[in-house]
Amino acid sequence: MKIYTCPMHPEVASDKPGRCPKCGMQLVPKDEVQTHAVDHSTEDMGLGKTTWKGYIPLLVIVGLILLTSLTISYKQSFEGSPRGIQLL
């Protein structure tokens, strides 16, 4: 006798094919579910390769803040100083 189970809810078991009462997916023979199972605990998931991308917006924001503050201080340093050469 085959036992049918839900691929998403392996705790759901039935002796005949049908639909999962939790999610409505088609029940499949239990031996098919076990052959397709993946162990996600050892999978890399690609997180180590993409975490540096989170620093790009931070660097852009810090750069804009520095550029703005330098521009303001540069403009303030020349306020009140004479422009060009003045003739006597």
Average pLDDT of adjacent 10-residue blocks, the chain of 88 residues: 89 92 92 58 57 81 91 69 52
Q: How far apart are CA 6 and CA 18, in angstroms?
A: 9
Q: What is the pLDDT of residue 16?
A: 92
Q: What is the pLDDT of residue 38?
A: 56
The answer to whether 5 and 13 have CB atoms below 8 angstroms apart is yes
Q: How far apart are CA 14 and CA 84, in angstroms?
A: 91
pTM of the model: 0.38
Tell me whether residue 28 is exposed, middle or buried, using C-beta atoms within 10 angstroms of its C-beta: 0 to 12, 13 to 18, 19 or more: middle
Q: How far apart are CA 56 and CA 8, in angstroms?
A: 37
